Amino acid sequence: MSHEGLVNETDEFQYGSELQGRGYMTRTDTLVGLSIWILATAAVMVGFLNLYVIKKLSIFHNSFGVLWVSRTIGEIGANLPNIFYAGPVTIFQPKDIDPTAGIVAWTVAFFFAFESCIMVQSVSANRMIAVCWPLKYEHIFSQRLTKTLILITWFSAAFIIALYYIVPCSLLGYSPRYHEFLFIKCSADYDRDYSLFATVGNRGCFAMCSCALIMDITTLVKILQIKFKNKAAARESTFKRNVRFFAQTAFQNITMMGTLVFQVLANNSKESDREEYFILAYDTLILTHLNNGLALILFNPEVHEFLGINFWRLKKKRSGLISCSTTVTSGTLTITAKNDN
């Protein structure tokens, strides 16, 4: 789909015109705006549920749990602007929006989302060490190192976002018309329609998540090796827990890689002229944050028990399994059938 006719260009340059609504709503605007609002609200609610579960369950009172909390806070913060700004303005398409509003929405969302993106590397490394070198895990991922990684991650996100304001003509803001964060032109005669800094940033995030995916593959190879060559170790509860935690991490990295493909293609630039890239880049990022929160719930039976959800019991009920017991009394064989439901 092309954006032809969506932008009312004038001869007079207006800073932040990219961040204005069209002044009327279309069916696409309504659907996209609702999808942003619904997905973001769900992601925030599931994120807070993750924080509550981690606080209550002792299996997450470790380095992995602390890193997951930091990443979850990043995802919650990244979706708040979608609930209170991006979703509503996409639906209603107001004109005469102060560009500052769109810039602030991008600043808050990008700061938290970038922290979450960086933290993915630490979570993947945590799982790789736990599975590949379990005896060294406690020493490597000590409490001190975990806190240091978290502080470095948050300071790095703050530093990167500050560079957008320091490097001339690099700022982005949310555009209701294009359903994505867009580069803001500095002047009418400025020939570039994309942010060099954002271009490097998008590709940098893709490279970082690729490294996380490599760590996941390394972890998966080790899991398979243990499963087939060391049956006793594969049956240990600690190993099974590490596998579940790894599944959570790998699940989020796969969805994130798909999101970043669209981010690179869209490149926060109107020049891409592909509306589907903008929509997919924006919505799949929110969906990735939602998937990350759901992974903690879906992959851990301890969480199922805590929340009162028993997937295995539900499956058992559907299959209608029957257990049989036999007793012998005075030479008479009695078979008693008992429905496990």
**pLDDT of 92-145, one tens digit each?**
999 989 999 999 999 999 999 999 988 988 988 998 898 889 889 989 999 999
Rounded to 10 degrees, the C-alpha dihedral 282/283/286/287 comes to -140
164 pLDDT tier (thresholds 50, 70, 90):
very high
Q: How many helices (H) and strands (E) does the chain have?
A: 12, 4
pLDDT of residue 313: 53
pLDDT of residue 55: 96
Q: Is the pLDDT of residue 54 over 50?
A: yes
88 pLDDT tier (thresholds 50, 70, 90):
very high
Q: Is the pLDDT of residue 290 over 90?
A: yes
> Which pairing describes strands 322-329 and 332-339: parallel, antiparallel, or unpaired?
antiparallel
Yes or no: say if 169 and 190 are a contact pair by the CB < 8 Å rule. Answer: yes
Q: Is the pLDDT of residue 338 over 50?
A: no
- Percent of the chain predicted with pLDDT > 70: 84
d(CA 51, CA 66): 10
d(CA 87, CA 54): 29
> Torsions phi, psi of 16, nearest 5?
85, 15
| Stated pTM of the model | 0.82
Q: Is the pLDDT of residue 339 over 50?
A: no
| Residues 6+ positions from 316 with CB-CB distance below 8 Å | 340, 341
